[in-house]
Amino acid sequence: MECLFCRIVAGEIPATIVRETDNTLAFRDIGPKAPVHVLVIPKEHYADVATLAQGDPALAGEVLATAAAVAEDEGLLGDGFRLMFNTGAYGGQEVYHVHAHLLGGAPLGPMLARDLG
């Protein structure tokens, strides 16, 4: 199996799992960019959020629901958080198994490092 996150789902690579449902998994990012940085994925392999949303919108909804549950568990609902799907080359995606980045625990700054507008 080539895909890193499929290997995490299979238990072949260790991860700090914070929530698991029948169809989704949430685990801490190995290189956290904020006090809370959790990745939320569908267990089934989809390359990116567009492929997931077009192929199985209900599963995309489950990923969002799991992200919201983790946000609540981590105490992020009051102060807020950011939920992000880096997609493709311009989006800076590095792992091609769709994942939502759940970021919070501190003010996260501007949406982009530079204003490209």
Q: In the 8-state DSSP scheme, what is residue 41?
A: E
Query: Per CB under 5 A, does 108 bind Zn ion?
Result: no
Nearest CA to 50 out of 2, 93, 4 is that of 93
CB closer to ligand 5GP out of 77 and 95: 95
Among Zn ion, ligand 5GP, none, partner that 65 touches (CB below 5 to 8 angstroms by kind): none
Closest approach, Cβ 12 to ligand 5GP, in A, equals 11
Using CB atoms within 10 A of its CB, is residue 90 exposed (0-12), middle (13-18) or buried (19+)? Answer: exposed
Enzyme catalytic residues: 99
CB closer to ligand 5GP out of 51 and 93: 93
